[in-house]
Amino acid sequence: MEQLIAQLKREIIEVLNLEEITPDDIDNDAPLFGEGLGLDSIDALELIVLMEKNYGIKLQDANQGKEIFKSINCMADYISKHRTI
Amino acid sequence: MNLCISKYCSIKNNCFSVNGEVVFANSELSATEFLTALYRHEQIGYPKFFKMDYLAKTGFLAADLLLKGTAFYGDSLKQTMGIFLSNNSSSLDTDIAFQKTIGKEYFPSPSVFVYTLPNIVMGEIAIKHKIFGENTFFVSQEFNDRFVRDYVNQVFVEKDMESAIVGWVELFDQHCEAFLMLVEKEKGTINFTQEIIHKLYKS
């Protein structure tokens, strides 16, 4: 799981252009949206694309995103259980 | 009504100038690398900058540094300030980048897509500086000083405006150019005439 978390952090930084943030700056339990990383709705769409492109996960219900993208830990947990690639 | 240019700036050939004086230059970088270098040099501290496309970065930087040190810099609401920009290539640079993200596997990027309109650069400027006045983006072959003078004068009268960011923001395939003027009603020493606009743009 730790390897997946580290990989996920690198991918998020790259895909969301978080230039001034390093993987160590991202708390595994901190909220990704609002406070924490302060991501916005376009970032949410980009994370959905990342899940499909890199892990073969296609979210069917947009409401799922609220739980999945709560934190890095939540995202990694969901990916580890549902990834197809 | 007499409109004046109270300040102007430009980004051209990897050189940033304010009122005709060079503030920052670096000829060793690519045009887009220069934008990041200028951002860091001026210590702007606005992380969303890194999410912008190159056209928005160019206009955002030029506008931010144009307003820096003036009464317009900061969080105050600016209801009577407008933004009027133009360029040649519209958002073509980002349109092409977006097309590439579609690719063979079809994964279009939402964050690239949102910049596939040239007027988004004005939105970025307006958000940062809380500018709520009129804004218009024109696409033209070249910077049209006469049209700019006429249009801006007309909008100042019709919309009862007090100030505006006016100019040219062009970005395509590593060609990057911005020329912005801070235009104010009855304030400043440079008259907002076609001849002067032309001269400042060419300088």
Are residues B107 and A49, on separate chains, in Cβ contact within 8 Å? yes
Cα(A6)–Cα(B194) distance, integer angstroms: 57
pLDDT score for A21: 87
Between A18, A46, A52, which is nearest B109 by CB?
A46
pLDDT beyond 90 at A81: yes
pLDDT score for B104: 65
pLDDT score for B105: 65
Domain total of chain A: 1
Judge if ipTM > 0.85: no
Between A19, A43, A49, which is nearest B50 by CB?
A19
Q: Which CATH superfamily does the domain covering B3-202 fall into?
A: Thiolase/Chalcone synthase (3.40.47.10)
pLDDT score for B15: 97
Please report, for chain B, the start and end positions of each structural domain, with discontinuous segments joined by +.
3-202
Residues of B in contact with A57 (CB under 8 A): none
pLDDT beyond 90 at A80: yes
pLDDT beneath 70: ranges in chain B: 104-105
Residue A8 structural domain: 2-21+30-82
CB-based contact B162:B81 (threshold 8 Å): yes
CATH number of the domain enclosing A70: 1.10.1200
What would the pLDDT profile of B48-71 be if each residue is shown by its tens digit? 999 999 999 999 999 999 999 999
pLDDT beyond 80 at A31: yes
pTM for the predicted model, two decimal places: 0.91
What would the pLDDT profile of A59-70 be if each residue is shown by its tens digit? 888 788 888 999
pLDDT-based confidence at A40, cuts 50/70/90? confident
Cα(B34)–Cα(B29) distance, integer angstroms: 6
Which residues lie closer than 8 Å to B123 by C-beta, 6 or more apart?
A: none
